[in-house]
A = this chain, B = another copy of it.
Amino acid sequence: MSKPVCAIVGAGEGLGRSLAAKFASEGFDIGMVSRSEESGRAAAEASVAARAETNIGHFAADARQPESVERAMESLVNTLGEVDILIYNVCDGFPRCEPLDMEYTQMESVFRLEVVGAFAAAKSILPAMRQRGAGTILFSSATAALRGSASYPLYAIGKFGLRALSQSLARAYAKDGVHIAHVRLDCDLDVPRMRELYGDRYEPGMLADPDAVAESYWLLHCQPRAAWSNEVELRPHTENWTC
């Protein structure tokens, strides 16, 4: 008998890995989309560790190339079956710069990654979800989706656009039974990239545990359709609210 399928675009070492393990432990097969099978190895291993018989598939795509995302998602469906939950969880390199130093190509690149790629992934499976009258699509986002930034303007521009996409999809297709939500992480995650960025400032416990975040994604997926959240914020109990 076929198991439900969780597709994760951006399944790397950080939150993607925790999401893969969580949904595997709940009985889902895991389809991972990322640049290379190598980049998804940690997530794959975590999925099998969570439940040995998890079926895992890796499908290569460049999230900045929407057609490549579409092809990967198509292969994913052909291999594992219809997608029950899609999590778009790509991660940019957090390029820090002042606004005047943004290059046009950087702006277009972040837009492709955060918005066009997210739409390509959603578009690949939304029609089937609408037909079945069920499904979940979660977009990993950040407080940058709500406020511009003097230091990370590219990130804000991308996340604002992602939120506009998420709201537009939810307003249009919730009525067909598809749960679409924008998940704002109001915190930094305790993942390898962040530890690097923090450098000497890093202390254990100051960043958010990605396993806990994955648990809250799971609980969001469990909401009955008569009581859905579409805009969700998540922060550790120790975090100061940023807005």
Contacts and interface: CB of A to CB of B under 8 A. Distances in A.
Contacts of A175: 237-238
Contacts of A163: 148, 160
A58 interface: no
Interface in A136-194: 147-150, 153, 156-157, 159-161, 163-175, 177, 179
Interface in A29-78: 66
A91 interface: no
A100 B180 CA distance: 14
A141 to B, nearest CB: 12
A149 B173 CA distance: 11
A79 interface: no
A148 B160 contact: no
Contact of A165 (B104, B153, B173): B153
A230 B235 contact: yes
A7 B209 CA distance: 30
A227 B213 contact: yes
A26 interface: no
A107 B114 CA distance: 12
Contacts of A25: none
A164 B114 CA distance: 14
Contacts of A123: 100
B153 A160 contact: no
A1 interface: no
B98 A108 contact: no
A170 B156 CA distance: 13
B212 A216 contact: no
